Amino acid sequence: MKMKKRTMDLTEGNIYSLIIRFSLPILVGQIFQNLYNSVDSIVVGQFVGTTALAAVTSGADISMLLTGFFTGLSTGAGVLFAKHFGAKEHQQLHDSIHTALTFSIILGVIMATIGIILSPQLLRLVDCPEDVLYEADIYLRIYFVGILFTAIYNIGAGILRAVGDSRSPFYYLVAASITNIVLDIAFVTVVKMGVAGVAIATVMSQGLSVFLVFRKMIKTTEVYKVSLRDLTIKKDILLKVINLGIPAAIQASLVSISNLFVQRYINSFGSSAMAGIGAAKKIDRFAGMAAQSIGLATTTFVSQNNGAGRQDRAIKGIHACLIINAIYVAVLGTPIYFFAETFVKIFTTDESAIVYGIAMIHTMMPFYYFQALNQIYSNAVRGFGKSGMVMILSLLGMIGCRQLWLAISMEVNYSVTNVFIGFPVGWGFSALFVFLYYIFVVKKKIKQGTLDKSVATN
């Protein structure tokens, strides 16, 4: 049976319609992906206890380090895929896809091995309390087993998005999320496996998503078809993947490392703070998905149009993304702000933990458009091939400015509120730095006709 064509050429047609059609499946898919990650916390928080929830929170913060790496790698490499797709360079697209897939598989194996071995040391790095350490180590070691699945799925989803197919990854995330929910409940409430149960359920669900995305790419007859015998690394293409993907991957990883140091501050307030703030972080990710979905749409739109030599259309798409994202942020953020207590109680019944969770949401939520601006301009500049510069400017804002804020504010007044404020401080400065680079460098070069239209330039 012939598979339905789902690729989308973003170089022609109504810009607003295309971006909405492309970004909505990403947004809804990310909602399911967040459910995928949140169910672990909900189940252990409700059926095991506060200590178990704190353990999953500590483990999840560390696992996000490598998850962020592969998400960044797929986003950066997606610029290369989308550029070739937009330029109708099908052989180059084929070679890029197979090189990036092979590279991600090798990295996945290496990082999973390192993570399993160094799990206790990573937990001590964030000052994980002794009463939480044992369960957190169990959760994290099992979770690291699935890092290879994370690597393959993210690059696979990045390939599909680059050619305009945002619906297939959405369907696969729905299937994986439902599987994870069912297995979480079964392993924790029926088999009584505790935190090990939710970790195993997550790995099995990740395996399903990899099977589905790989099956799609092998069976398709379209230009992004994957052939197992062609899985190899071509040195010249690998350099392009590294130039575009590694800066984005390093950026995501270093931000996650910065979050680990932020977690040290959070851990100092005790297990109730860890549990409540951990719940708030899960909820926070739902609001953040608005910015992330449009950010991914911005990358693909700009990359395809840049590859087709239509920089003027790429700029119009960036303006459209700003307007659409304002709507997305309001739609997701408003109910989360006003019903914060209800959402936090889904994760925990501990009254002290609930207070911490509500405080974090109410402090951060009004500043979410800063995150939206950061996502759009960072991904726009990356789409024009300036991945390395995005990394530098984003790290300056997300790590440098935030850590400076924490160092000064916590010395003056050691308050958990200062930790909460640190997040929008990072978003705001990062957005400002990348916006200034876009206006005074990228846009100026486009106007002068001097922008290098090839990828992986800095």
Q: Which two tokens stand for residue 355?
A: 């207070």
Residue whose pair of structure tokens reads 């490392």 in the numeric block: 257
Predicted confidence (pLDDT) per residue in 376-421, tens digit? 999 999 989 888 899 899 889 988 999 999 999 999 999 999 999 9
Residue whose pair of structure tokens reads 């924490």 in the numeric block: 406
- Among 60, 193, 46, 34, smallest CA distance to 123 is for 60
pLDDT given for residue 4 in this prediction: 54
Predicted confidence (pLDDT) per residue in 339-383, tens digit? 999 999 988 888 999 999 999 999 998 898 898 899 999 999 998
CA-based angle 103:109:111, to the nearest 5?
95
CB–CB of 30/293 below 8 Å?
yes
Phi, then psi, of 74 in degrees rounded to 5 = -70, -35
Q: Which two tokens stand for residue 434?
A: 């990348």
* pLDDT tens, residue order, the chain (458 aa): 444 556 788 899 999 999 999 888 888 877 777 776 677 777 777 777 777 777 777 666 677 777 777 887 888 788 889 888 988 899 999 999 999 999 999 988 998 898 888 888 888 876 777 777 888 888 888 888 888 898 899 899 989 988 889 889 889 988 988 898 899 889 988 888 888 888 899 899 989 999 999 999 999 989 999 998 999 999 998 888 888 888 877 877 777 777 777 878 888 888 888 888 888 887 887 777 888 888 889 999 999 998 888 999 999 999 999 999 888 888 888 999 999 999 999 888 889 999 999 999 999 988 988 988 999 999 999 989 888 899 899 889 988 999 999 999 999 999 999 999 999 999 999 999 999 999 999 988 888 777 765 554 45
Q: What is the 3-state secondary structure (H, E, C) of the chain?
A: CCCCCCCCCCCCCCHHHHHHHHHHHHHHHHHHHHHHHHHHHHHHHHHCCHHHHHHHHHHHHHHHHHHHHHHHHHHHHHHHHHHHHHCCCHHHHHHHHHHHHHHHHHHHHHHHHHHHHHHHHHHHHCCCCHHHHHHHHHHHHHHHHCHHHHHHHHHHHHHHHHCCCCHHHHHHHHHHHHHHHHHHHHHHHHCCCHHHHHHHHHHHHHHHHHHHHHHHHHHCCCCCCCCHHHCCCCHHHHHHHHHHHHHHHHHHHHHHHHHHHHHHHHHCCCHHHHHHHHHHHHHHHHHHHHHHHHHHHHHHHHHHHHHCCCHHHHHHHHHHHHHHHHHHHHHHHHHHHHCHHHHHHHHCCCHHHHHHHHHHHHHHHHHHHHHHHHHHHHHHHHHCCCHHHHHHHHHHHHHHHHHHHHHHHHHHCCCHHHHHHHHHHHHHHHHHHHHHHHHHHHHHHHHHCCCCCCCCCC
Burial (CB < 10 A; 0-12, 13-18, 19+), residue 2, is: exposed
- Angstrom distance (rounded) from CA 214 to CA 156: 7
Predicted confidence (pLDDT) per residue in 177-187, tens digit? 889 889 988 99
pLDDT given for residue 243 in this prediction: 84
CB–CB of 69/144 below 8 Å?
no
User: What's the predicted TM-score (pTM) here?
Assistant: 0.78
- The domain ranges of the chain are 15-448
User: What contacts 167, CB < 8 A, 6 or more positions away?
Assistant: 6, 25
pLDDT given for residue 1 in this prediction: 40
